[in-house]
Amino acid sequence: MNQIDVRSEIIAQFNQVAREQDKRLTPLTDQLELLDSGLDSVCFAIVVSRLEEAIGVDPFAASEDAVIPVTFGELVSFYENAAK
């Protein structure tokens, strides 16, 4: 999966999970802090779980010292690097 696909897959999952969990999603910019995105931690967990199926990687599980992303941009590059 190339980098554009990774980003659009992540955006698609954010929208999908927000819809399912009845959350209002803030427009996704790279600077947006994840905790301000409108999703709660269960939503994030579902997103991570679905991205693992869609992209084939769980970058969080890859290392005990993997960084914890704070902004949406960090989350995207976290997945992009893992998918390389």
Q: How far apart are CA 9 and CA 51, in angstroms?
A: 8
CB of residue 71 vs other proteins: minimum separation in angstroms?
8
What is the contact surface with other proteins in residues (CB under 8 A)? Answer: 33-36, 41-42, 44-46, 48-49, 58, 60-61, 64-66, 68-70
Tokens of 82: 């893992």
Instruction: Determine the number of helices (DSSP H) and then strands (DSSP E) in the chain.
Output: 4, 0
Q: Which is nearer to other proteins, 3 or 50 (CB)?
A: 50
CB of residue 38 vs other proteins: minimum separation in angstroms?
11
Q: How far apart are CA 60 and CA 58, in angstroms?
A: 5
Q: Which is nearer to other proteins, 2 or 31 (CB)?
A: 31
